[in-house]
């Protein structure tokens, strides 16, 4: 009996020791997380140097002058910078951290060198004295909060809202993949909203980026602006509206996919390929109520297809080079199977060459379905023509139109001549009724159009 009692006591002691050990390990783990949350007063920065969460920051920083918890549940005011070190994972979530709304006071920011997860959180700038967000002017001169990624890897931005962030300062533009210490990469943005930002997205040499199922609206300078050799990026299924541009990729971007987005009321253009953007695709997008639907500027070897463009104030698709070309040349692009309607012009080529236009559909075009200027040439193939006007715009220069693989076409040449200027319009009207027939499956049709020239084509 004594032996049984001693064994029983030993077993209980062992269980208690094991429980104490597990409990001690849990406390030590929590303590380790809070221990690597520090504060540097000289630069007013909270530092995260090991894997941690926002709840760890709350537990470690008790000074409300640095991190202030508001009466409303899950709302905080950050009065300092928050910096996530390289090699560290930091999470800010509504479920795990009970963080609903983070207000970043003044010109402080979140700077990420490591990896961050933001899920279900709203983040904005905050003016403590006004108890309100900080608005921005049209020149971006007002310093306010920002999110900066610098050589960050594996960030996930999910189901969150970002607003009223950024100003005209590199690294502090808003949601800024700065690239000062190296490119950020392998980022996913999904199901989130970005509004009233100076830049809602900017990247420098970033790669393996996904922006999917998110909304970008009322941003001041740019909504989505991958830049400076950003590559391998998918911009898919987003809602882009009331910005200057919906999505613009500029300065040596490549392997960019822009697909399935709805873009409207973006004042300058819905989608822009700019400054030597190459080997990229815009497809299955719905663009409407913009000055230009889709624009390619100094950008070769891209594909634009299966897009629906409506109510473009100028043109549905623009193939453009400036008079002084210094970044790339808009050539070798494939533009096909697009539907352009209720716009001033269908497709315009300005100072661009050797782009192929195939099987595009036009409806309710006010002026010209194809408009050329500044020594452009276009190759139209596989096209059905229904009273298609191809004309020369300003500045008036010699431009070349070629049509191939489009079956038998009838071409009426129309030109403004001296008789029209003298008021004698009868001869010109008689001339316009004469159509010449060409079999473009056998022989390429070519026509140089210059000042005042146009042709009208029917299949």
Tell me what pLDDT residue 452 has. Answer: 84
Q: Looking at 58-62, 156-160, 385-389, 434-438, which range is the least confident one?
A: 434-438
CB 166 within 8 A of CB 146: yes
Select from 392, 386, 385 the least CA-distant residue to 371: 392
Tell me what pLDDT residue 421 has. Answer: 45
Mean pLDDT calculated for residue range 114-134: 98
Q: Residue 417: which pLDDT band, with cuts at 50, 70 and 90?
A: low
Q: Looking at 145-159, 297-311, 404-418, which range is the least confident one?
A: 404-418
Mean pLDDT calculated for residue range 108-129: 98
Mean pLDDT calculated for residue range 371-399: 94
Domain ranges of the chain: 39-243
Q: pTM for this one?
A: 0.90
Q: Does domain 39-243 have CATH number 2.160.20.10?
A: yes
Mean pLDDT calculated for residue range 419-435: 53
Position of tokens 């950020």?
184
Q: Is the pLDDT of residue 19 over 90?
A: no
Tell me what pLDDT residue 13 has. Answer: 40
Q: Is the pLDDT of residue 108 over 80?
A: yes
The mean pLDDT of the chain is 91
Q: Looking at 4-13, 157-166, 223-232, 346-355, which range is the least confident one?
A: 4-13
CA distances from 38 to 82, 145, 174, 187 (A): 10, 20, 25, 26
Tell me what pLDDT residue 31 has. Answer: 58
Q: Residue 133: which pLDDT band, with cuts at 50, 70 and 90?
A: very high
Tell me what pLDDT residue 394 has. Answer: 85
Q: Is the pLDDT of residue 11 over 50?
A: no
| Alpha-helical runs (H) found in 42-147 | 54-60, 94-97
Q: Residue 416: which pLDDT band, with cuts at 50, 70 and 90?
A: low
Q: Residue 32: which pLDDT band, with cuts at 50, 70 and 90?
A: low
Q: Per-residue DSSP letters for 103-124?
A: EEETT-EEEESSEEEEES-EEE
**Rounded CA separation 68/58 (Å):** 9
Express each pLDDT in 233-275 by its tens digit: 999 999 999 999 999 999 999 999 999 999 999 999 999 999 9
**Rounded CA separation 104/124 (Å):** 6
Q: Is the pLDDT of residue 158 over 60?
A: yes
Q: Looking at 29-33, 301-305, 379-383, which range is the least confident one?
A: 29-33
**Rounded CA separation 375/450 (Å):** 9
Q: Is the pLDDT of residue 4 over 60?
A: no
Q: Is the pLDDT of residue 24 over 90?
A: no
pLDDT above 90 covers a percentage of the chain that reads 85
Q: Is the pLDDT of residue 415 over 80?
A: no
């Amino acid at each position: 009996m004594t032996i049984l009692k001693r064994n029983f006591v030993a077993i209980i002691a062992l269980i208690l020791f094991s429980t104490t050990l597990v409990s001690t390990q849990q406390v030590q783990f929590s303590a380790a997380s809070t221990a690597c949350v520090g504060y540097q007063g000289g630069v007013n920065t909270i530092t995260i140097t090991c894997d941690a969460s926002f709840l760890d920051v709350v537990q470690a920083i008790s000074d409300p002058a640095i991190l202030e918890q508001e009466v409303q549940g899950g709302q905080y005011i950050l009065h300092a910078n928050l910096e996530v070190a390289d090699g560290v994972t930091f999470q800010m979530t509504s479920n795990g951290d009970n963080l609903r709304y983070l207000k970043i006071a003044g010109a402080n920011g979140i700077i990420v060198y490591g990896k961050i997860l933001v899920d279900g959180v709203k983040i904005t700038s905050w003016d403590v004295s006004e108890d309100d967000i900080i608005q921005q002017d049209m020149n971006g001169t007002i310093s306010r909060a920002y999110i900066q990624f610098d050589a960050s890897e594996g960030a996930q931005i999910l189901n969150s809202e970002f607003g009223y962030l950024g100003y005209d300062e590199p690294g502090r533009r808003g949601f800024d993949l700065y690239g000062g210490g190296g490119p950020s990469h392998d980022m996913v943005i999904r199901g989130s909203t970005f509004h009233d930002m100076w830049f809602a997205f900017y990247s420098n040499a970033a790669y393996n980026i996904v922006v999917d199922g998110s909304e970008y609206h009322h941003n001041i300078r740019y909504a989505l602006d991958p830049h400076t050799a950003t590559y391998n990026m998918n911009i898919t299924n987003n809602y882009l509206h009331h910005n200057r541009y919906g999505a613009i990729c500029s300065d040596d971007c490549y392997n960019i996919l822009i697909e399935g987005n709805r873009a409207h009321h973006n004042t300058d253009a819905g989608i822009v390929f700019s400054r030597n953007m190459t080997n990229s695709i815009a497809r299955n997008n719905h663009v409407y109520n913009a000055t230009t639907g889709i624009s390619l500027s100094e950008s070769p070897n891209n594909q634009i297809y299966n897009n629906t463009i409506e109510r473009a104030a100028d043109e549905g698709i623009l193939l453009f080079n400036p008079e002084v070309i210094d970044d790339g040349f808009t050539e070798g692009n494939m533009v096909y199977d697009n539907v352009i309607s209720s716009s001033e012009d269908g497709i315009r080529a300005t100072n661009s060459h050797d782009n192929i236009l195939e099987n595009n559909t036009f409806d309710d075009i006010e002026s010209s379905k194809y408009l050329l200027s500044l020594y452009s040439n276009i190759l139209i193939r596989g096209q059905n023509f229904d009273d298609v006007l191809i004309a020369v715009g300003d500045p008036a220069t010699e431009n070349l139109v070629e049509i191939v693989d489009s079956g038998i076409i009838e071409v009426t040449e129309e030109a403004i001549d001296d008789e029209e200027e003298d008021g004698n319009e009868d001869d010109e009207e008689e001339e316009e009724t004469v159509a010449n027939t060409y079999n473009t499956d056998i022989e390429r049709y070519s026509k140089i159009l210059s000042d005042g020239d146009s042709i009208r084509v029917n299949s």
